[in-house]
Amino acid sequence: MYKTIGILTGGGDAPGLNAVIRAVVKTATGFGMRVIGIEDGFEGLLGETRTRPLSQSDVRGLLPRGGTILGTRNRGRFVEHTVEGLATTSKEVYDEALDNLSRLNLDALVVLGGEGTLTIAAEFDQLGVPVVGVPKTIDNDLACTELTFGFVTALDIATEALDRLHTTAESHDRVMILEVMGRNAGWIALHSGIAGGADVILIPELPFSMESVAHKVRARDEGGSNFSIIVAAEGAVEAGHDQIFQVSGDKEHAPRLGGIAQYCTTQLQTQTGKETRCVVLGHLQRGGRPNAFDRMLATTYGAHSVRVLAEGKRGTMVALQAGDVITVPISEAVANVKTVPPDGQMVRTARDTGISFGAIDEGRYHAST
C-alpha cells in the first residue's frame, strides 16, 4: 500500500472539490496514508514545487465550502502537450514533474478534474505514477459516469435563475433568455430547462433555426401566454450558419462579448417585435456551496478513490453507475465527450411537456404547445 499520496485539482472550479479533498484526507488517514496537497493543479509540480501536508485538522469545515483550497489552473505547461503534441517540449515538462514527485516521495496521485486534467493524469499513470481520477465538470459531459459532482448544484442555480426570470417575463410580457454553460454538451440547459419550465431550450446537439424559435414565441402569444423563457447552452449553434459565439469558458482572456444569448436577443426582438432581454449566468454557475447531493457524491468519490489506491488499482477513474460508485479506465473516460442524445429520453420528455428545441422540423414533435 502507498505511504504518501498527492492530491491536486485542475480545470475550472466546481462545487464539491473541497468535499472530495476532505474525504480523501479523512479516508487516507484512516488507512494510515499521508496526504500531500499539490497547489494550482499540475503546475504545482513544476519549478519550485508548491505542496503542503494535509491532516484532518486542515480539512475541518471544508464540506460546504465552494472552490478548492488547493487552487486550480485552467491552462498550464502540460496542456500544450496534449493539444499540440509537441513531444520535445512536453517531455521535459513531464520529466521535471516526475523528478519532483520522486523527490517529494509521492507514491500515487488523486487527480480531480475534467477531460483536460484527466488526460494529463492518464499520461502520468502511463509514465509510472499510480493515478486515480475523480470526475469533475459542471457540464456533466464526461463519459463513463452518470454524474460528475458540481452538476446538480449548477442545475439548482440555473433553475433558480429561470424561476426569477419567469416572474419578470410574465409581468412585462417579455421574452427572457438565459445563457448557461455547455460548450460541447447541453446538459445544464436541458435539465434546468425542464426543471425551470423553459419554453425553448437551445443545445449544441440540436442545431436550431431562429425562425422555429420565433414561431414558438408567436404561438405562445397566440395561445394567450404573452411571454417566453429560453435557456441556451453557450455552445448552441444555428443550423446552416457558422457563427462562432464567444463562450464564457476559461480558454479566452477577454470578457464576454457577443455570445449566443445576445445574438438571439437581437434576432428575436426583430423577428417577433417583442421586448427581449438576456442574462448570461457565467461564473455564478460554478462558485459557491455544493448542495446536499453533490456533497454526498463528492464524499463518496473521495473515499472510494482512496480505497481504490489501497487495493492497488491504478489508471482508473471513480464513476457513478446505477447508484454505485465504481471504477473505469481513465483512458476510456477521456476518449469521448458525453453529449445529449437527440433521440434520448430527456429530449423526448422535454418535447412531451411542450418544450421546443427550435429545430427546423420541431413542429412534428409537438401535438400541443
Burial 288-312 (b: 16+ CB within 10 A, else e): bbbbebbbbbbbbbbbbbbbbbbee
State which of residues 244, 251, 323, 364 lies at the interface with its own copies (CB under 8 A).
323
Residue 92 CB, nearest distance to its own copies (Å)?
25
Find the part of the chain contacting its own copies (CB under 8 A) among 81-89, 111-119, 235-243, 322-330: 322-330
Find cell 420528455 and name the residue: 349
Find the part of the chain contacting its own copies (CB under 8 A) among 119-127, 200-208, 258-266, 328-336: 258-266
User: Binding to its own copies by residue 104, rule CB under 8 A?
Assistant: no
User: Binding to its own copies by residue 246, rule CB under 8 A?
Assistant: no
State which of residues 240, 253, 343, 361 lies at the interface with its own copies (CB under 8 A).
253
User: Binding to its own copies by residue 337, rule CB under 8 A?
Assistant: no
Structure-block grid coordinates of residue 349: 420528455
Site for its own copies in 121-180 (CB under 8 A): 146, 152, 155-161, 163-168, 170-173, 176
Structure-block grid coordinates of residue 72: 486550480
Question: Could you say which of 139, 141, 156, 294 is catalytic?
Answer: 139
Site for its own copies in 192-231 (CB under 8 A): 192, 194-197
Q: Closer CB to its own copies, residue 90 or residue 248?
A: 248
Residue 325 CB, nearest distance to its own copies (Å)?
6
Q: Closer CB to its own copies, residue 38 or residue 281?
A: 281
User: Binding to its own copies by residue 95, rule CB under 8 A?
Assistant: no
Residue 272 CB, nearest distance to its own copies (Å)?
13
Find the part of the chain contacting its own copies (CB under 8 A) among 82-90, 108-116, 200-208, 315-323: 315-323
Find the part of the chain contacting its own copies (CB under 8 A) among 104-112, 190-198, 201-209, 328-336: 190-198
State which of residues 50, 183, 218, 307 lies at the interface with its own copies (CB under 8 A).
307
Q: Closer CB to its own copies, residue 118 or residue 278?
A: 278
Which contacts (CB < 8 Å, 24+ apart) does range 161-168 have? 161/196, 161/279, 161/281, 161/284, 162/192, 162/193, 162/195, 162/196, 162/197, 162/198, 162/229, 162/231, 163/196, 165/229, 165/279, 166/196, 166/197, 166/229, 168/277
Three-state secondary structure string covering the chain: CCCEEEEEECCCCCCCHHHHHHHHHHHHHHCCCEEEEECCHHHHHCCCCCEEECCHHHHCCCCCCCCCCCCCCCCCHHHHHHHHCCHHHHHHHHHHHHHHHHHCCCCEEEEEECHHHHHHHHHHHHCCCCEEEEEECCCCCECCCCCCECHHHHHHHHHHHHHHHHHHHHHHCCEEEEEECCCCCCHHHHHHHHHCCCCEEECCCCCECHHHHHHHHHHHHHCCCCCEEEEEECCCCECCCCCCCCCCCCCCCCCCCCCHHHHHHHHHHHHHCCCEEEEECHHHHCCCCCCHHHHHHHHHHHHHHHHHHHCCCCCEEEEEECCEEEEEEHHHHHHCECCCCCCCHHHHHHHHCCCECCCCCHHHHCCCC
User: Binding to its own copies by residue 336, rule CB under 8 A?
Assistant: no
Find the part of the chain contacting its own copies (CB under 8 A) among 28-36, 43-51, 108-116, 234-242: 28-36
Count of residues that interact with its own copies, criterion CB under 8 A: 101
Residue 107 CB, nearest distance to its own copies (Å)?
18
- Quick note: the x/- pattern for its own copies over 267-306, rule CB under 8 A, is --x-----xxxxxxxxxx-xxxx-xxx-xx--xx-xxx-x
- Quick note: the x/- pattern for its own copies over 36-75, rule CB under 8 A, is --------------------x------xxxxxx--xxxx-
Catalytic status, residue 139: yes
Residue 128 CB, nearest distance to its own copies (Å)?
27
State which of residues 32, 47, 53, 363 lies at the interface with its own copies (CB under 8 A).
32
**Looking at the annotation, which residues are catalytic?**
139
